[in-house]
Structure 1
Amino acid sequence: MVDFLPTFPAFLLVFVRVTSFFLLMPLFSYRSIPTTHKVGLGFFLSWIMIFTFDAPVLEINGAYFLLIIKEAMIGIMLGFIAYVIMAAIQIAGGFIDFQMGLAIANVIDPQTGTQSPLMGQYLYTISLFFLLALNGHHLLLDGIYFSYQFIPLEQAWIPLGDASIPNYILSSISKMFGVALQLSIPIVGSLFLVDVALGIVARTVPQLNIFVVGLPLKLGVGFIVLIAVMSILMGAVATLFETMLTTMRGLMELIGGL
């Protein structure tokens, strides 16, 4: 315990970064996980991590409190960029819901407390199970662990004045919308063809009430196409996980000035 005392200020900084990362990162930030469990997990992870690299000996002074703010900002930024990339699944579900006629039937996500589209919530839940099956949560924890190779504890500032960091975050958000479009395009494209066919039927058979026939037809076609392309969607989601990790790495390199 005597040997640990000189590194105790560094341990507190590690604890701040890890718990700040848990605030926004997928899976670990959900309300279903009690706050005491999150704090306890962050404490033990920080305890393990502090003994795996050469922790600097820091003094608790005015500059140390600035380091605490810096560590909290790093954890929140890394968790936010991971959450933004994963939000592509929700956006894709919103596109699908709009075409299937389910855009008005949003549900409350019990994990985040926000409204989410029906198909978005369905795909997001399956993607989380897929993430756990691929041990993606281990990769997220590896990301926060290896962040100290890019952003050391004694680094006194985040180069927010550099335009590359906000540009990188904005490009990541735009990439998220592109990925969402790619995830939803098989179903959205099929439903667009259904709309075209219904328009032709409405012009050729005006006696047919197209609004009564169209909604159940689009629902049925949407679910059939969703089942048919589910394996392709999961392959795209696996690529999305890889994109999330590489995006986190790129952000850490920019913050660390590498």
Structure 2
Amino acid sequence: MTLKLLPVFLLVFVRVLGFFVTMPIFSYRTIPLPFKIGMSFYLAIAMTYAVNDAAISWNSTFPVLLVKELFVGILIGLIAYMVLAAVQIAGGFIDFQMGFAIANVIDPQTGAQSPLIGQYFYMIALLFLLSVNGHHLLIDGIYNSYQFIPIDRFIPFSRDGIIDFVIDVFTNMFLIAFQIAIPIVGCLFLVDIALGIIARTVPQLNVFVVGLPLKILVSFIALVLFFWIVYHIGQDSV
């Protein structure tokens, strides 16, 4: 690498490093920091020659471009994380209906609290992502981001720009979470209706004592059926 490509390399390195700070899998605490920096360094070297047609030099706008690249890398990593966050949100919806909303666990990967079923869904989603080489697609995403936001241009805040794209991703995250959770939440809603009818017809029965274990049992049965259906759909698609 020549000194002429050094400004381009620094901009690429900052974007890739910001991406590795927030993206799923590679941003976790279990991944050593030297590995993140070294992986970002070697990816930046490989990607520099793909974007070396940009006219970047040591001028007054270079520090601004450096901050922009860091912001873009962090933003792309957060967008990639939103896809997996939808699974955790779906688990939160299910936990709220099951009665597990008060019992959260600490995610050892991120250090944040997450719902029980949400963490279970999240680990399955991570294993599925690794099994289909989804981490390779994540790395391809940071490379293809230069087609959307070139290295020598600032973030397009116009209509149909980055702001509208982030809003659409954020909205679709909750939509996907609702679609994942609606089968189990729907079953629990029917259980609530049945318990309400029982409470009116048999006042001697304490539905608060019977309802919680019954909803947990129905939830686990629905989860088993849900994963069984998903497994067979995956087998048929293969």
TM-score by length of 2: 0.90
Tell me which residue corresponds to 1:195. Answer: 192
For structure 2, which runs of at least 5 residues remain unmatched after alignment? none
233 and 89 in structure 1: CA distance in 2 versus 1, 3 angstrom threshold: farther
The one-character-per-residue Cα deviations of 1:8-31 (angstroms, maximum 9, x if unpaired) are 221111110101111211111111
Tell me which residue corresponds to 2:180. Answer: 183
- Within the candidate set 194, 201, 206, 1:204 is matched to 201
Displacement of 1:172 in angstroms is 1.8
Cα RMSD after superposing both structures = 2.1
15 and 234 in structure 1: CA distance in 2 versus 1, 3 angstrom threshold: farther
* Greater Cα shift, 144-153 or 227-236: 227-236
Specify the code of the residue in structure 2 equivalent to 1:209. Answer: N
Tell me which residue corresponds to 2:168. Answer: 171
Pairing of 1:92-111 with structure 2 (within 5 A): 92-111=90-109
Kindly indicate whether the alpha-carbon contact (under 8 Å) linking 2:149 and 2:155 is maintained by their aligned counterparts in 1: no
- For 2:39 and 2:62, the matched residues in 1 are separated by 24
Tell me which residue corresponds to 1:114. Answer: 112
The higher relative CO (CA closer than 8 Å, separation ≥ 6) is in: 1
Specify the code of the residue in structure 2 equivalent to 1:228. Answer: L
The one-character-per-residue Cα deviations of 1:86-119 (angstroms, maximum 9, x if unpaired) are 2111110010001101000011111111111100
Q: How many residues align?
A: 234
Specify the code of the residue in structure 2 equivalent to 1:90. Answer: Q
Displacement of 1:232 in angstroms is 5.0
- For 2:229 and 2:85, the matched residues in 1 are separated by 18
- Within the candidate set 5, 8, 30, 2:6 is matched to 8
Kindly indicate whether the alpha-carbon contact (under 8 Å) linking 2:84 and 2:125 is maintained by their aligned counterparts in 1: no
The one-character-per-residue Cα deviations of 1:172-222 (angstroms, maximum 9, x if unpaired) are 211111111100000000011111111111222222221221111111110
* Greater Cα shift, 84-93 or 146-155: 146-155
Tell me which residue corresponds to 1:91. Answer: 89
Pairing of 1:242-253 with structure 2 (within 5 A): none
92 and 235 in structure 1: CA distance in 2 versus 1, 3 angstrom threshold: farther
Specify the code of the residue in structure 2 equivalent to 1:26. Answer: P
Specify the code of the residue in structure 2 equivalent to 1:191. Answer: L
- Within the candidate set 159, 165, 168, 2:156 is matched to 159
- For 1:226 and 1:106, the matched residues in 2 are separated by 19
Tell me which residue corresponds to 1:44. Answer: 42
- For 1:235 and 1:120, the matched residues in 2 are separated by 22
Secondary structure (helix, strand or coil) at the match of 2:72 reads helix
TM-score by length of 1: 0.84
Displacement of 1:60 in angstroms is 2.1
- Within the candidate set 12, 17, 20, 1:19 is matched to 17
Specify the code of the residue in structure 2 equivalent to 1:188. Answer: V
- For 2:10 and 2:232, the matched residues in 1 are separated by 39
Secondary structure (helix, strand or coil) at the match of 2:61 reads helix
Specify the code of the residue in structure 2 equivalent to 1:207. Answer: Q
Displacement of 1:161 in angstroms is 5.2
Displacement of 1:164 in angstroms is 4.1
- For 2:50 and 2:155, the matched residues in 1 are separated by 24
234 and 175 in structure 1: CA distance in 2 versus 1, 3 angstrom threshold: farther
106 and 234 in structure 1: CA distance in 2 versus 1, 3 angstrom threshold: farther
Matched, 1:220 2:202: no
Specify the code of the residue in structure 2 equivalent to 1:202. Answer: A
What fraction of aligned residue pairs are identical, expressed as a percent?
56
